[in-house]
């Protein structure tokens, strides 16, 4: 048995993980006042789960961060105070067992691959930003040092808007297909058209929230539908690029924004199908992620189980992967 830990901007979720099943789940608000307080909070939830579930063999941790995988050192993070922190070392010291740390989107992709039983899978998590992960031959692709695959920072327009992420580029997928991008465009359009229905949805802070935009699109508001059309088109362009590069058997769309998929999914698939290389496109399925709210925890647990197995035998036994899938 291993533990999976999912550290998000608002909550820390922990569970015992076996295969793709999570039990003894617990969560706690993320403490963001300082690095030490954040780590103490994580330790508190983990110790609570250990008290119920028993001692794990290893702990996997997913964080919204760029991580040097071998050392488990966090380079930089989104929304939580983890920058330049040797997270793997720190948590191993606290718990006295092996700890493995990975980017949360990589964990989500790993979970999705095992949940749907695919060995070649690309996943995009559409939320405040755009996260991405690629599973190749059953294993997470991380690049040379573990900092890949930042799929949200592929530029799809050289002269596009500045990327809202911690990124110097313009026109990244994240600059079009993230919650931040939607709010930026909706606010701009509503401000430019003060007599529009969309303008009536501007909040007291002068901003139009993603939630209001979705509500307006569902009500058939033409301005909101135009923004969603642009979102879907850009997402489709991104999907076509990832299909051409990775040739996955499945490309999954997850994250909080996927709850509004009825406003963009079909149109994005149509756009991707018109752009991807036909031989690759006819062999891929594009689908909403099947993993639920606990996918992050499951992915972190799978990470720990796989790394533990990987450390024992230099090559991952295929049988373990298959069991995980079933
Ligand atoms: Zn970017």
C-alpha 288 – ligand 1 centre gap (Å): 23
Going by C-alpha positions, the residue among 44, 43, 58, 52 that lies closest to residue 3 is: 58
pLDDT in tens, 130-151: 999 999 999 999 999 999 999 9
CB 149 within 8 A of CB 143: yes
pLDDT of the residue at 311: 81
pTM value is 0.92
Q: Is 229 exposed, middle or buried (0-12, 13-18, 19+ CB in 10 A)?
A: middle
SS3 of 194, please?
Answer: coil
CB 60 within 8 A of CB 300: yes
> What's the mean pLDDT when you consider all of the chain?
94
Position 312 confidence tier, pLDDT thresholds 50, 70, 90? low
C-alpha 105 – ligand 1 centre gap (Å): 15
Q: Which residue has the tokens 């609570």?
A: 48
C-alpha 156 – ligand 1 centre gap (Å): 10
- What does 243-294 look like in DSSP terms, one character per residue? HHHH--SEEEEESGGGGGGGGTHHHHHHHHHHHS-HHHHTT-EEEE----TT
Cα 247 from Cα 284, distance rounded (Å): 7
C-alpha 162 – ligand 1 centre gap (Å): 8
Q: Is 108 exposed, middle or buried (0-12, 13-18, 19+ CB in 10 A)?
A: buried
C-alpha 200 – ligand 1 centre gap (Å): 31
Query: pLDDT above 70 covers what percent of the chain?
Result: 95
SS3 of 209, please?
Answer: coil
């Amino acid at each position: 048995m291993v533990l999976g830990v999912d550290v998000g901007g608002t909550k820390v979720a922990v569970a015992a993980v076996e295969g793709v099943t999570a039990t003894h789940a617990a969560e706690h608000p993320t403490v963001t006042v300082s690095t030490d307080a954040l780590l103490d909070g994580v330790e508190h939830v983990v110790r609570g789960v250990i008290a119920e579930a028993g001692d794990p063999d290893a702990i996997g941790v997913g964080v919204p961060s760029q991580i040097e995988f071998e050392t488990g050192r966090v380079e930089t993070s989104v929304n939580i105070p983890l920058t330049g922190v040797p997270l793997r070392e720190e948590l191993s010291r606290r718990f006295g067992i092996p700890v493995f740390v990975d980017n949360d989107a990589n964990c989500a992709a790993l979970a999705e691959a095992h949940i749907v039983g695919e060995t070649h899978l690309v996943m995009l998590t559409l939320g405040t930003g755009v996260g991405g992960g690629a599973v190749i031959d059953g294993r997470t692709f991380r690049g040379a040092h573990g900092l890949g695959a930042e799929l949200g920072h592929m530029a799809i327009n050289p002269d596009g808007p500045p990327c809202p992420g911690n990124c110097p580029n313009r026109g990244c997928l994240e600059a079009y297909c993230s919650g931040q991008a939607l709010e930026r465009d909706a606010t701009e359009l509503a401000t430019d058209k003060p007599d529009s229905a969309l303008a009536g949805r501007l909040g007291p802070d002068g901003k139009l929230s993603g939630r209001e935009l979705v509500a307006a699109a569902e009500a058939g508001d033409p301005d909101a539908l135009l923004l969603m059309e642009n979102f879907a088109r850009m997402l489709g362009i991104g999907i076509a690029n990832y299909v051409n590069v990775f040739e996955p058997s499945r490309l999954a769309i997850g994250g909080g924004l996927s709850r509004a998929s009825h406003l963009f999914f079909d149109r994005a698939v149509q756009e991707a199908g018109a752009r991807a290389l036909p031989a690759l496109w006819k062999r891929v399925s594009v689908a909403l992620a099947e993993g639920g709210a606990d996918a992050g925890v499951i992915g972190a647990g799978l990470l720990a189980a796989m790394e533990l197995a990987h450390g024992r035998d230099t090559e991952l036994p295929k049988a373990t992967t298959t069991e995980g899938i079933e």
